[in-house]
Amino acid sequence: MTTKEKIKQILINNQGHYISGEEIAQNIHTTRACVWKNIKSLESEGLLIDAVTNKGYRLQCPTDAPNASAIEKSLRDKGLDISVEYFDEVTSTNELLKEYAKTNHNEKIIIAGLQTAGKGRKGRNFYSPMGTGLYFSILLFPNDKLDKIVNITAMTAVATALALDEVVFNGEDTTLIKWVNDVYINDKKISGILTEGYSSFESSEDNYIVIGIGINLYPPTDDFPKDIKDKAGWAIDTPILDKDIATIKSELVIKITETVMRYYDFSKTGALNPDDCLTIYRNKSNLMGSYVKINHFDGNYTYARVIGISDDYHLIVEYDDKSTEELSSGEVSVVKY
Ligand code: BTN
């Protein structure tokens, strides 16, 4: 890579942020004057760069859009026939696919640059700003297989955690999963999954599910909203120099989709077995042994210790009186002493 290419790469990897000339210079072992000269040269080639005194340089137009047709082709090469579309801005990728499923019957992925009405679990919002996150949904038509895929959300958590380990952390086992389906790093949630489904009384052919995945890749430019600031984190602290954001997003979409689709259709493709998935899920669980507060749907709560994950991905807890229970859904939070 030439010095100019390296500088362009650093700007791409820092989209949404200013990076000082000093920092760039240190990064590639050159001088600030050399950085400035190359920035001017990049500008003359048409790259739009903001230069602000005491802040540094920042790309004006984020180029973080993953290449939808390249993703589609890569999935097709792996034997997976699913169309892929990218939009700079949507309300919610889940909502778009649910609308699409009313009149279409083919499997599809929608990826968005930002969501104006990103949906989280339990009617919450999912903060989806531009540039720093990956937001996408997968539409599948399981026909009569709905019962076979009840654990698809937990499986998607495994797929997301594995993909992040591979694409972002060079294959190191870094991510954890908080029951039911949140992906964590260092005690902070970096990814959430929302699965929505439709089951028809008339024909199982009309059954569909939409699996929505949101990942905070970088710290948001304007910080997280107050209500999630203490809990939310991001996957990438320092730029991965050999990959731009678009590439990271594309690789994640491909890896996650591949794993989810293989699980969903594993009997045909003979690929990732649900048993392997359960083992990974158990190994990555960050609640084992923790004393937790269980928030029940009726607003009540109880306390118990987590003692395992059942074969159905239920959380097994033990109450103070030694009685046990398997929780199939709900929300728990770790009690800190
Ligand atoms: C949660 O943690 O509560 C679930 C968050 C799910 C967010 C994703 S982002 C892509 C898809 N579209 C949405 O509106 N929500 C999901």
pLDDT (tens digit, 9 = 90+) per residue, 27-72? 999 999 999 999 999 988 877 888 999 989 988 755 678 888 899 9
pTM: 0.81
Mean pLDDT calculated for residue range 132-146: 84
Supply the pLDDT for residue 146: 62
Supply the pLDDT for residue 31: 95
CB 88 within 8 A of CB 65: yes
Supply the pLDDT for residue 166: 95
Pairing label, strands 108-115, 83-90:
parallel
Supply the pLDDT for residue 244: 79
Tell how far the Cα of 91 is from the centroid of ligand 1, in angstroms: 11
pLDDT in tens, 106-135: 999 999 999 999 999 989 999 999 888 999
Supply the pLDDT for residue 127: 96
| Weakest mean pLDDT among 143-147, 192-196, 275-279, 306-310 | 143-147
Triad 298, 303, 305: Cα angle to 5°? 130
Going by pLDDT thresholds of 50, 70 and 90, the confidence category of residue 267 is very low
| Ligand 1 surroundings by CB, under 6 angstroms | 92-94, 115, 118-121, 124, 126, 135-137, 182, 192-194, 212-214
Q: Is the pLDDT of residue 81 over 70?
A: yes
Which residues touch 51 (CB under 8 Å, ≥6 apart)? 39, 57
> What is the chain's mean pLDDT, rounded?
89
At position 220, the amino acid (one-letter code) is P
Mean pLDDT calculated for residue range 141-167: 84
Mean pLDDT calculated for residue range 78-100: 94
| Weakest mean pLDDT among 51-65, 257-271, 294-308 | 257-271
Q: Is the pLDDT of residue 297 over 90?
A: no
273 versus 23: the higher-pLDDT residue is: 23
Ligand 1 nearest-atom number relative to CA 112: 10
1 versus 188: the higher-pLDDT residue is: 188
Tell how far the Cα of 193 is from the centroid of ligand 1, in angstroms: 5
Q: Is the pLDDT of residue 269 over 60?
A: no
Mean pLDDT calculated for residue range 309-330: 94
> What's the rounded Cα separation, in Å, for the pair 258 and 256?
5
Which residues touch 14 (CB under 8 Å, ≥6 apart)? 58, 59, 239
Going by pLDDT thresholds of 50, 70 and 90, the confidence category of residue 272 is low
Tell how far the Cα of 119 is from the centroid of ligand 1, in angstroms: 5
Supply the pLDDT for residue 76: 95
Supply the pLDDT for residue 150: 74
Token pair listed for 171:
């294959």
User: 3-state DSSP call for residue 87?
Assistant: strand
Tell how far the Cα of 324 is from the centroid of ligand 1, in angstroms: 32
